[in-house]
Structure 1
C-alpha cells in the first residue's frame, strides 16, 4: 500500500519548506525537456520479477567479482593505517544538543563532522579487515555498526526542513534523505562482506543490520510517495534521486528476500529514474555542475549498472543518446588539470571518480571518456593512493564503500588504457544556455571561456545570468567563486544574503545600483551562440528588477583566435538614470594598474602570466581585496580574492562598453 504521511506543522514552516524545496528542486533547464520513459516504457513489474536475480544469485555474482589481493599496495597501506589510527579510540558522540545546533545557529559542520567520522571509521575498518583477515578490526566494526544502528535518524539535521520538521528528528516519521541512504549502503556492504565474522561474535549484529535497513530504507522507500526526491507531485528532480536510488537499490539486491517486494522496489526505482530523466536536456548538461555530476550522472550510472547486472542484461539503456551525453558532459566541462566550469554551487576544482568514469566510458563505447579516466588515474599517480575521507565539507562523496570496491575491481584495467586529457574545442548546451570555447583546441593553450545564460531559479542557483569565466593556459584569470560550505542560510529565504550568490560578486554589471533578482522570470533573452564566429550573445536585462530601469543590456563575448584576445561588449539602454553603472569582475590574483586604461591580470599559478585588460576611459577603477575564510573557497582560490569594479564617471541612458583581454 502506498502511504502518505500527514505532518503536523505550522503553516509558516510549510511555507518556508516549500520555498526551500523550490530553490533546491527547481526547473532543470530553460526549455522543458519531455523525454520518453527509458526504463519502464516496455516493461512492468511482472516482467521485472521474471528476470530479477534473487539475493543468493546476486551475492554469488558479487562475491566472484571481488579479489582483495587485487587492491593496490598504496590503497591497502592507506586503509589499514587509517583503520589502525582509530583502534581503541572512542566513537564520537552525536548528542541531542549537537543535533539541535542547526536549528539554533544554522551550523551544519559541527554535527556532520562526527557523523562522517563514524562512517569513515567503519568504512576503513571493514575494508582493512577484508584485505587483512586477521580479526584486528572486528571489535571496531561491531562498535561502529552498533553505534550507527542506535542513532535516532541516519540523515542530517539540515535536511529535516524538507519534511516539515525542525530541531530533533521525529522517529515516528519514516523518511530517507541522501545520507540515510548512504548509511544504509555502508551497513549493507558490511553485512555482506563480513557476515560470517559478525555472526561468530553475535548473530544479533547481522539481524540488527537487516532490521534497521528494512525499517529505515526498504520499507519507507517502497511505501511512501511523498518524499520530494520521488517527484510524485511533479517536482523536477536533481542529484538526490539517482544518488538515493543507487544506495536503495544496493540494499534491495543484497537484503530484500521477499520476491514481491523486491520486484516492486526495483520497478519503483526504474520509474523514479525515468522521472529524473524526463526533463533532462538531451545535450546531457548537468545544471548542478561538474562537482555534482558524480552524484547526478555518476549515480545514474551506478543505478543503470546495477539494474543491468541484476536483470541479466534485460534492463540496459546504454545506447540512448541522452545516457551517452550525460556521461560525456564531465569531460566537456573540463578545463585543465583539476579545473572545471563551475557556475552556481560548484567548486572550481573537482576530482571525479576515475573508476566510475572508466566504467561509464566502456558502457557507452566512448574512447574519450575511457582515456579521460586513465588520465585522471595517472594524474593522481595512483588512483588508489588517495583514501578519500568523508568529511563535513565533502559534498561529492567519491569515497563511499561501493565506489572504493569498484576501484579495486577496475584499477588494473584502467592502467592498461591510454591516458589522455580531453581538450574539447567548444561545447554548447542549448537548454542551459552554457557555452564553452577554447583558443587552441590542439594543445589546450591560450584563452578558455565559458559563459551562461539561463535563469535565476536553476538548481543550486546563483544570480548569475550573463556571467562568464576566463582561463589562460588552463589557469584562472576571471573566476566564478562557486561553492562555500553550506549553512542554514544556503537553502532558505536568506540564500541571497550570502555574498557568493549575488550578481555583484560575479562577472556582471550592477545596473542603476541594482543587482540581479532570484526567480524563474529573471532570465536571459535573445541568446545566440555562433561557433563559426566564436561569439556568444545574450540580453540580461530581464535578470534585473524593474527598479534597475533597464530596457536592454546585451552582452557579446567574442574570442578572437587570430589576435588571441577575449572581447566583451555590453550595449545597454536605460529608461532612467539613478546611479552610475558598475561592472564587476572577480579574480584570484591581485590585479595591478597598468598604463592608461589598462589593468594587469594574472593567470593564477602560471608563473605570473600577464593578461592586459583594457577598459573605456569613462570608467574609474576600484580593486577590492576580499578575505577568504571558508575552507571550500580556500581550496579553490586560496586566502584572498579580488573584485575589480569599473565605475562609470558619467551616466548615460544608452551606450556601449568594450572590455578586452589580451596576453602579453
Structure 2
C-alpha cells in the first residue's frame, strides 16, 4: 500500500510551472485567445441576491452564471498576463480576488440542494419556498463543481504570484479557501454524493480540492488526510466513471471535463512524491485516452450522444499531457484553436487548467489523426463506429449506439445513430437541451431533446422509450449491440430495442444497420414481433439540414453533400417533415431541427430504409 504521508514533499517551488509557462510556445497562443474572448477587464460584475435567487424563481441558470464565470475568466487572463511579464495590473488581480472572496457562497444556485441537508444529485422539487437556513446564511458546508474550481483558482493564484501581491489579500484568500473548501471537505467530504461517484463530478471536485490543498495547506497531517480522501475518490472515478472498455457514457464533453483536474493533480502528485505516486501510469488510462479518437468525426466535431457537445475544443495542455503519458499519440491531432473554448464562460474561468494549457501545449495543431477514420467498437458503452467514403472520396462515418437510459447525462436513445458525411452530420444527434431547474429533476425526459422523440428511433404503440429510475422511470436498461461485423465488405451492427420500451404487446424489436464502406451507403432494417394484436409503429430520422421530400424519398441537403434516403419496405410508406423550431427556441438552440417521421401501415412488422 502506498504511504502518502512518507512520500509527500510538503514544500515545492512554483518555479517549475512558471518556467514552463514562460518558455512554452503555447502560452502566447493561449493568451491571445483569452484576450480575444475577454476584451474588457476591470468592470467587475456583481453577484447579487436577486441574481442568485433567479434560478429558484424561474429555473433559469444563465444570468447569474454569466456574472459568476466572468469574474473568474478575468482573473485567469490577468494572472496569465502577469506570469508572462505584464506587471501593470496587480490591483486588478487584487480586486478580482477580493470580490470573489466577498461572495457569500461559491456554490451555484443550480447545485444548492446538494449539501448536507439533501445529499442528492437529483433532488425532487421542493414544495415550499426557501426558509432562513440556506446556503446564503449558514456557514459553507457543501462543495459543488465550481466552488471546488474557485478554490483551486484562488489557491493557484497566490501560490504562484503571492510574492507580487498584497499580503492581506493573500491572507484573505487563504481564509476563504479554508472556510469554503478545506473545512467542509474534511468534515463532510466522504458524505458528498460525488466523492466516490461514477461521473465527472468526482474527478473535478476531488481534483480541484486536492490541488488547493497542495498549494495552501501547511500542516503535513492535514494535507495527508485530505489527499488520502482525494485518492479514495480518484480510485472510484477511474474504476467506475469509465466503462471497462475505456469509454464514457457521459460522452466526450464530460470525458474532457472530468479528466482535466484529475490529470492536473496527478502530475502535481507525481512531482511532489518524486515519481513514487504516478496515477497516469495505470494501464487502464490507455483505453480511456483512446476514447476521443473513437468519438471524433472531423476536426473539432465529435459524437454527441446524450448531453455531449458536437463541436468541442479539448483542453490542449491536458490532451498533450495525456498523450505523452499514455502513448496515445493521435490525441493532439484532435486539437483545434483555443479560441473555440467557451470564451468568457466556463472554460476561461478554469485558471488552473488554462495555465496547464499554456505550460504543456506546444501551440501546434497536428494533422487530424488517421485513427479517427478507423472503425471503433466499444462493447461496454455499446457503440459501433464504421468508416468509409463516397464514390467521390468524401469521408463517411456511421456510428450507432445501444446505450444506456439511466446515465447522468443519458437520453432515451437506444438504437439511435449518426451519419456524418464530408464533415457534416446529415443524420444527427440533436444534442442537449437547455440546462435548467427541471433538466436534472424528475421531469428531465419531458424535454424534447432528452426523450426519444428527438432521436432516430421508433415510437411503438404511441410510446417513447422509457427513462431509467434515476429520473422517475421504471427500469434501468443498459443496451447491448448483439451482433456486429467489421470485416472487409459490408459492415453491420444489430441492436436489441425491445427492453427500451414499456409496451407489453411488443415481443421483440431489433434494428440492423448495414454499411458499405466502399461507397458510404447505409441500410437500416427494423423488425418487430407482437404477442397479440399488431401495434402502431412510427419510424423517424432527425436532421439540422434542409430537407426535400417526395413521397417515400427524402433528400437531406448538406452544404458539402446531399444524402438521398429511400423507404424500401413497406413501399407505400411516406415521409412527413415535422418542424421543431419551437422546441429549439425553448432550449436556446440555434437552427431548426427537422424530424422526418414515417408512419407504418397497421400490421407492418418490417421497415427498411436505404
Tell me the TM-score normalised to structure 2 length: 0.89
Distance 2:36 2:239 in 1: 45
Aligned CA distance change for structure 1 residues 545 and 272 (closer, same or farther; 3 Å): same
Select which of 417, 429, 442 maps to 1:493.
442
Q: Which moved more, 1:166-175 or 1:71-80?
A: 71-80
**What residue is the counterpart of 2:231 in the other structure?**
270
Distance 2:103 2:94 in 1: 15
The answer as to 2:485 corresponding to 1:530 is yes
Q: Number of aligned residue pairs: give it.
A: 584
Kept in 1: contact 2:512–2:525 (CA 8 A): yes
Q: Which residue of 2 aligns with 1:407?
A: 357
Of residues 285, 291, 294 in structure 2, which corresponds to 1:329?
291
- Please point out which of 214, 218, 225 is paired with 2:182: 218
**Which structure 2 residues correspond to residues 252-651 of structure 1 after superposition, within 5 A?**
252-279=213-240, 280-370=242-332, 372=333, 376=335, 379-380=336-337, 388-391=342-345, 394=346, 397=347, 400-412=350-362, 415=364, 420=369, 422-440=371-389, 445-519=394-468, 520-524=475-479, 527-532=482-487, 534-546=491-503, 549-562=505-518, 564-577=520-533, 580-594=536-550, 597-602=552-557, 604-606=558-560, 608-616=561-569, 617-627=571-581, 638-648=590-600, 650-651=601-602
Change (3 A) 1:405 1:525: closer
- Shift of the 346–628 alpha-carbon distance from structure 1 to 2, 3 Å rule, reads farther
Equivalent-residue separation in structure 2 for 1:442 and 1:290 (angstroms): 30
1-side partners of 2:476 and 2:87: how far apart? 62
Match of residue 195 from structure 1: 162
Q: Is the 8 A contact 1:485 1:631 kept in 2?
A: no
Q: In structure 2, what is the Cα distance between the partners aligned to 1:249 and 1:444?
A: 49
Name which of structure 1's ranges 280-289 and 167-176 shifts more when overlaid on structure 2. 167-176
Shift in Å at residue 525 of structure 1?
A: 5.5
Q: Does 1:65 align with 2:14?
A: no
For 2:392 and 2:22, how far apart are their aligned partners in 1? 40
Q: Deviations over 1:490-545 (max 9, x none)?
A: 10011011001111110000001111111143453672222225211122111111
Per-residue deviation, 1:133: 3.3
Runs of 4+ in 1 over 6 A off after TM superposition: 81-84, 416-419, 441-444, 631-635
Residue pair 2:69, 2:349 contacting (<8 A) in 1 also: no
TM-score normalised by the chain length of structure 1: 0.82
Secondary structure (helix, strand or coil) at the match of 2:449 reads: helix
- Residue 118, structure 1, aligned to residue 118, structure 2: no
> What is the Cα deviation at residue 68 of structure 1?
6.7
8 Å contact 1:482–1:633 — kept in the other structure? Answer: no
SS of equivalent residue, structure 1 residue 288? coil
**Can you give the 5+ residue segments of structure 2 that lack an aligned partner in the other structure?**
119-125, 469-474
Displacement of 1:400 after TM fit? 1.7
After TM superposition, give the deviation of residue 66 of structure 1 in Å.
3.5
- Rounded to whole Å, the distance in 1 between the matches of 2:51 and 2:349 is 25
- Checking the alignment, whether the CA contact within 8 Å between 2:426 and 2:563 is kept in structure 1 is no
Structure 1 segment 221-236 matched on structure 2, within 5 A: 221-224=185-188, 225-231=190-196, 236=197
CA root-mean-square deviation? 2.8
